[in-house]
Amino acid sequence: MVLGVSFVDQLSTALVIGVITGGVYALVALGLVLVYKASGVFNFAQAEFGTVAVYAAYAALEFAGLPYGIALLVGVSAGVAMGLATERLIIRPLFDAPRVTLLVATAGVALLVIGVQFWRANDPALRVLAPISNELERVRVFGISVSDQRIVILLVLAATAAGLALFFRSPGGLAVLAASQEPTAAELVGVSVRRVSSLTWGVAALLGSLAGLLSAPISNFSPGFLTAGASGALIPGFTGAVIGGMTSMPGAVVGGLLVGIVESLGGLNALEGIPGARSLLVFASLLVVLLVRPQGLLGRAAA
Amino acid sequence: MALLEVRDLVVGYGPHPVLHGVSLDIEAGETCVLFGLNGAGKTTTVSAIAGLLAPSSGTITFDGQPIAGRPAAALVASGISLSPEGRRVFARLTVEQNLQLGGWVRRKDAAVARTQRQLVFDYFPRLAERGDQVAGTLSGGEQQMLAIGRALMSQPRLLLVDEASLGLSPTVARTVFEVMDRINDDGTTVLIVEQNAGVLPYADRVLIMEKGTLVFTGVGDEIRDADLRSTYLGA
Ligand SMILES: Nc1ncnc2c1ncn2[C@@H]1O[C@H](COP(=O)(O)OP(=O)(O)OP(=O)(O)O)[C@@H](O)[C@H]1O
Ligand SMILES: [Mg+2]
C-alpha cells in the first residue's frame, strides 16, 4: 500500500482484499464444520484434500494433456477419493477411539500426504495451475481489481454454504446429526452410520478439493501449500470455523470471511512497524470472540 | 409358527460367548417379559434380535424369514424395533425430531408418519406438550416415553423394550406398563426386558434368564417356585 493513502481508503481496500482471501478460508471452514458436526473430529487433513486435488488436476492438464474442465474433474475425484479412503482406513477403524486420537490421526494423514508430495513432486517446487479464466479485472471494487477466479470462489462459496445449510434443515441432515449423537440409536431407526460417515467425509473432501482447485491458480503452488505457508488456509479456516461456532454453516462463512478481513487489516500502514501484525490481529480477535461469546458468533450455547 | 423364533442362539463379545444356546418363541399378539439378574444376558438377547450384534451360531426367524446377522438398519424396515437400554434419545435434537427420525424407514410415506405420530401422542400426551423441547432436558420418565415413542414411529410388528422401568418412580413405571399394554392391545407384539415384578399383570408369558440360558418359560402365575420368585422378582 502506498504511503499517504487516506485511512478510509486503506480500510476499504483491506475489506475487499479480506473478503476475497477469506473466501478460501470460508470454504475450508465449511468442510471442517461438516466433519465436526458429523463425527466430532477436528480434521487436520481438510486442506490436504485440496492439495491432492490440485496435484492431480495439474498432472491431468500438463502431463496427460486433458482439457481444463476434465482436469478439474480429475482433481475433484482425486480429492474425494482421498477423503473416502481416509474415512474407510483411518476414521472408521477408530470409530470408538477418543476424538483426540482421531485428531492426531488426521494430522498424521496430512503430514503423510505432504511428505509424498515433497518426495514425488518437489522438482520444481513451485508450479502454476492455470486459472478458470485469464480475466484479472472483471470488476473494480474500491480501486481493487477483482479477477474472475476470485469471483468464482465467492460464488462457489455462496452456493456450497447455502446447499449445506439447506441440507442440515432436511431429513438427511437430521440423520447425520442423529448418527453423530447416538450411533446405536441411529442404526436402530434405520440410519446406516457407515453410509453417513462416508457421505460426510466425501462431501468434506469435495469442499476441500474446490478450495484447492480454485485458490491454487491465484499464485503458485507447492507441496502442502493449502495446509501451511503463505497461502495456507487450514489454520485461518479453523479460526474462522471456531469464530463462527464450529457447528454452523453460515457461521463458517462469516468466520472465514472475518479472518480474511482481520488479516488484511494487519497490513494497514498504521501497523507497519509491527512484525507479524496479521496473525497477531487474527488470534487476538479469535480470543476476543471466544471470551465474549464462547459458543462462537453463530453457534448455539449448548450445542 | 411363532412370529419370532430363536434357536440355539450363541452370542458373545469377543471369543467368550455370553448366550449359550438360547431358544425362545414369541407368538404374534402376545406380551412377553424377559426377567433376569444383572449380567444374565437380556440386553445381549434383544440386541441380537434387533440386529445390533451378530450371533456366532444359532438362528433367528422373524415371520418365517431368517434374520440372524442382518443389520439393525435393515431389520427396522422389516418390522422389528428396539427401544434400547439406557434410552439413547438424540439428546441435542427436539422431541419432534427424535420422533421424525424414529420414522426414518417410513419417511417416504407421509400418511404413516402422521398416524404413528398421532398414536404416540395419544399414548404419551406428555410428549405432545413437549414437542419443541430438546430431548436431553427431558426427565428420565419422559425420555423413556420418547424412546418407546421413537421405536413406535417405524410401525413395528415386534416392539422390544429394554429396561422399560429402570430408574422410574413406581407411578411412572405403571404408566409405562399400561401404555405397553395398550400398544399390545392395538396389535403390536411386545417383548419387555424387566427387573420389576410390577410388569407381571401385563405379561402373557414370562421368560427368565440366568447366566446366558433360559431357566424358565411360562405364564406369570406359574412362577410358584419360591426360589425363582424371590431371586428374580423380589416377591
Ligand atoms: N460390550 C460388551 N463387551 C464385553 N462384554 C459385555 C458387553 N456387553 C455385555 N457384556 C457382558 O455380557 C454379559 C451379559 O450382559 P447383558 O448386558 O446382556 O446383561 P443384562 O441381562 O442385560 O444385564 P442388566 O440387567 O445389568 O442390563 C455380562 O457379563 C456383561 O459383562
Ligand atoms: Mg441389560
Q: How many domains does chain A have?
A: 1
Q: Do A189 and B76 touch (CB under 8 A)?
A: yes
Provide ipTM, 2 decimals: 0.93
Residue A5 lies in a domain: no
Please choose from B11, B20, B35, B43 the residue to mutate so as to test ligand 1's pocket, defined by most ligand atoms within 8 A of CB.
B43
Domain range for A64 is 10-121+142-292
B11 CB less than 6 Å from ligand 1? no
Confidence of residue B225 (pLDDT cuts 50, 70, 90): low
B99 CB less than 6 Å from ligand 1? no
Place of cell 439406557: B86
Distance of alpha carbon B104 from the chain centroid:
18
Calculate how far, in angstroms, residue B203's C-alpha sits from the geometric centre of ligand 2. 19
Please choose from B10, B22, B44, B163 the residue to mutate so as to test ligand 1's pocket, defined by most ligand atoms within 8 A of CB.
B44
B36 CB less than 6 Å from ligand 1? yes
Residue A29 lies in a domain: yes
A179 closest CA partner among A166, A164, A202, A197: A197
Q: Which atom of ligand 1 is nearest to the CA of B45?
A: 18
pLDDT of amino acid A274: 82
Residue A200 lies in a domain: yes
Listed as ranges, residues in chain A with pLDDT below 50 are 1, 302-303
Residue A79 lies in a domain: yes
pLDDT of amino acid B173: 92
Q: Which atom of ligand 1 is nearest to the CA of B40?
A: 21
Per the model's pLDDT, the better-predicted residue between B228 and A27 turns out to be: A27
**Domain holding A156: CATH number?**
1.10.3470
What pTM, to 2 d.p., does this model score? 0.88
pLDDT of amino acid B23: 95
The DSSP secondary structure of A169-183, one letter per residue, reads TSHHHHHHHHHHH-H
**Domain holding B128: CATH number?**
3.40.50.300
Domain range for B148 is 4-233
Across chain B, mean pLDDT equals 92
Q: How many domains does chain B have?
A: 1
What is the distance between the alpha carbons of residues A297 and A258, in angstroms, rounded to a whole number?
Answer: 11
Q: How many CB atoms within 10 Å of residue A101?
A: 12
Angle between helices B110-123 and B140-152 (to 10 degrees): 150
Contacts of B226 (CB under 8 A, 6+ apart): none
> Is residue A301 within 8 angstroms of chain B, CB to CB?
no
Calculate how far, in angstroms, residue B119's C-alpha sits from the geometric centre of ligand 2. 27
Find the CB nearest B100 among A171, A192, A303: A171
Asked if the model's pLDDT at residue B234 lies above 70, the reply is no
Tens digit of pLDDT for each residue in B166-212?
Answer: 889 999 999 999 999 999 999 999 999 998 888 888 999 999 999 99
Residue A126 lies in a domain: no
* Lowest mean pLDDT, pick from A135-149, B103-117, B214-228: B214-228
Residue A69 lies in a domain: yes
Asked if the model's pLDDT at residue B224 lies above 80, the reply is no
Residue A197 lies in a domain: yes
Residue A302 lies in a domain: no
Residues of A in contact with B105 (CB under 8 A): 189-190
